Chain A
Amino acid sequence: MSEILLQANQVAKHFGGVKALRDVSLSIRRGEIYGLIGPNGAGKTTFFNCMTGLYIPDGGGFTFDGVALQADAPHRAAELGIARTFQNIRLFGNMTALENVMVGRHVRTKAGVFGAMFLNRATRDEEAAIRQRAIDLLHYVDIADRADDLAKNLSYGDQRRLEIARALATEPKLLCLDEPAAGMNATETEELRLLIEGISKDGTTVLLIEHDVKLVMGLCDRVAVLDYGALVIEDVPAVVQKDQRVIEAYLGA
C-alpha cells in the first residue's frame, strides 16, 4: 500500500474560454486531513467535481488507491471509496434522515429486485444490517434523535451533519467535504471541527474545501491553495500561511 491515496495528474478543465483548472497536480496522503483553499472561483469545486466523476476533465486524470479513476462515472468513484458532500447541501429532502443514510449503504450492499420480492433470509438480514448501521451513523454525527424527521425539515447544521453521515455510510477511504462550515456560527464550526477530527482519527482520510481559513489552518495536516484554476502551493499550514503568493492571492491585501 502506497502512502499516497489520491494523486491528481495535471488535471485541466475549461468551460468555454474560462480555464477553471490549469494542470493541477496534487497528492493526498493516506490518513491526513488535506485542505483545499482559494478565493471564490478559484476552481475548488470544479476540482471536486472532476475527481468525483461529475465533470469530465479536459486533460489529466486521477489515480485513487492505485486505480485510475474513470471520468463521468460518479457511482464508480463512490464504489472505489470516494464520498463527498455538497457545497449547497443536497439531501433527499422528502426522505427521513434515517432513510438518507440508508441510501448511503446502497453501494456496499447488493439486494436486488428478486431479493426484495421474495424477501429471503439474506435480504432481510442485509436490510436489518443497513438499518442498524444507519442508526449507528446518526449517533456518530449526533443527530439520532432526528432519525424519523424528513431531511428537509432538519436545521441547517443538522443537514450538514446528515450529509456527512450519508457520505460515511458508503464506507469511504476518502471523505471530501465541500465547504462544510459555510453559514455556520462559531459554536457550530467548533462542533464540526471536532467531528472532522473524530472521522480522521477513526481512519478516514479527509479532503476539506473551506473558506474559513482559521478552521483549515487549525485542522489540516497539509493545505493546497488554488488561484485562477492553478495550484499556488501545497504544503503544511505553517509554510502556506507565510507564502507571499498566498497572502497576495487570498489572505491579505
Chain B
Amino acid sequence: MKNWLSPKSMTGIALIAIALLVLPHVVGMGGQAWVRILNFAILYVFLALGLNIVVGFAGLLDLGYIAFYAVGAYTWALLASPHFGLHFPVWAILPIGALMACVFGVLLGSPTLKLRGDYLAIVTLGFGEIIRIFLNNLNSPVNITNGPQGITLIDPVKVGDFSFAGTSQIFGLTMTGPEKYYYLLVALALLVIVINVRLQHSRIGRAWQAIREDEIAAKAVGINTRNIKLLAFAMGASFGGIAGGIFSAMQGFVSPESFSLIESIMVLAMVVLGGMGHIPGVILGAVLLTFLPEALRYAVTPVQMALFGKILVDPESLRMLVFGLALVLVMRFKPAGLWPSPERSRELGDKSAEAVK
C-alpha cells in the first residue's frame, strides 16, 4: 500500500491536480476544437477502463463493447430530448443509462458464458453489430430511435439551472461549454479510476484474475465463475453506459454510425496498446489513441506541403496508414503494451527487453 500522505506523493498529487485544472485552457489556445478532443479523450478513458474490466481483468475478449456505449447514449437521447418529449434530470438518466447498459451486458454475457477466446470475440462482435443495426432500423413500424437520421436536440447535462452547454460566467471566469464538460468529465473519470483500482484489489477483482488465469482451478476453489463473469460484463457495460450518456449530452446528437465496429476495435486497441489489466497503462492508451489520429490529421497536410510543395497523398488515408504503422510497431517492440503492469512486463519482459536493444 502506498502512503498517500508522504510529502513526495502529496507534491505529485498537487502537480497533477494543477495540470488537470489548467489543461483545457492551455489546449484551448489552439482552439475550442482541441478542448472537445480532450473531452473525447476522457470519454475514451471511461470506455477503455470499462472494457479493461472485461478484457484486462477477467480475460474475456469482447469485440462488441461499443454496443453498451450505444445503449447508454440512446437511453440519454430518448429520455432527454424532444423526440419523445421527455426531459429527465441528469441524476435520473445517468443511473438509468448505466442500468440499461448493465442489463444488456448480462443479456450478452449469459448466452456466451461457455465460450472463450476467439469464439467469444466473434459472438460479441455480432452482438455489437446487432445493436447498431437495431438502432438503424427501429424507426418503423413504431419510431423509437429515428433510424439513421439519429436523434437531435438532446438536452445537455443540467444541474439545477446550471447548464453545461454554452458559455457562462463562473466566479468571474468565462467558461465555454467544452471547458465545463471537461471539468465534469475529469471529476467523473477520477471517480471511475478510483472504483477501478478498488475493484482490482478486491475479492471480486482477484476472482476475475483467477478466471483469466485458469478457469477450472478458479471453479475448484469455489468461485462461481458464471456469476463472476456476468459481473465483469455488467460492470464493464455500466461504465460504457455512463460514457454513452455523457457523449449524448455533450454532442446533442446521436446516430447509429457513431457506434460502428471500428469504435469497438479502437477501444480494444487502447486497452491492449496501453497495457492490458494495468489501469495507468489503459488511461495512457486511451489518451494517446484519441490524440494521435487528431494530431496526425493536422500534421499530414502541412508536412506534405513543406516537403513536396503539394499534397501527394490524401490526408485521411495517410493518417490511418501512419496510425496503423504505429500500432504495429508498438505491438512488435512492446508486446505487453506501452505501460504494462509490473507482472505483465515480467511475463513478457525478456522478449521486449531484447527487442529494445
Contact = CB atoms under 8 A, between A and B. Distances in A.
A94 B344 CA distance: 8
Judged by DSSP, the binding face of B is: helix
A147 to B, nearest CB: 14
Q: How large is the interface on A (under 10, 10 to 19, 20 to 34, 35 or more residues)?
A: 35 or more
Interface string A74-104: 1101110001101000111111000100111
B148 to A, nearest CB: 37
A167 interface: yes
B198 interface: yes
**Best-surrounded residue of A78, A84, A170 (most CB of chain B within 10 A):** A78
Judged by DSSP, the binding face of A is: helix
A116 B202 contact: yes
Contacts of B195: 117
Interface stretch (A5-13, A60-68, A106-114, A237-245): A106-114
A98 to B, nearest CB: 11
A111 to B, nearest CB: 5
Q: How large is the interface on B (under 10, 10 to 19, 20 to 34, 35 or more residues)?
A: 20 to 34
B204 A111 contact: yes
A150 B221 contact: no
Interface stretch (B32-40, B207-215, B248-256, B259-267): B207-215
A103 B218 contact: yes
Given A113-B204, A127-B203, A92 B209 contact: yes
B220 A52 contact: yes
A119 B223 CA distance: 21
A95 B219 contact: no
Contacts of A106: 203, 206-207, 210, 221-223
B231 interface: yes
A92 B222 contact: no
Contacts, number: 107
Contact of B221 (A83, A99, A127): A83
**Best-surrounded residue of B195, B209, B221 (most CB of chain A within 10 A):** B221
A111 B223 contact: no
Contacts of B344: 94
B346 interface: yes
A74 B218 CA distance: 9
A182 to B, nearest CB: 17
Contacts of B175: none
A172 B222 CA distance: 11
Interface string A122-135: 01001100100000
B217 A150 contact: no
A90 B223 contact: no
A242 to B, nearest CB: 36
Give the 9 A-B residue pairs with the shortest CB-CB distance, closest first. Answer: A107-B222, A78-B222, A116-B202, A92-B213, A74-B219, A90-B217, A75-B224, A103-B210, A111-B203
Given A75-B224, A90-B220, A92-B209, 14 more contacts: A75-B222, A92-B210, A93-B213, A94-B213, A95-B210, A102-B206, A106-B203, A106-B207, A109-B203, A111-B202, A115-B202, A117-B195, A119-B198, A170-B221
22 contacts: A53-B219, A54-B220, A74-B219, A78-B221, A91-B217, A92-B217, A94-B213, A94-B344, A95-B209, A95-B210, A95-B343, A103-B209, A103-B223, A106-B221, A111-B204, A113-B199, A116-B198, A117-B195, A119-B198, A127-B202, A150-B347, A170-B221
Interface of B: 195, 198-199, 202-207, 209-210, 213-214, 216-225, 231, 235, 343-344, 346-347
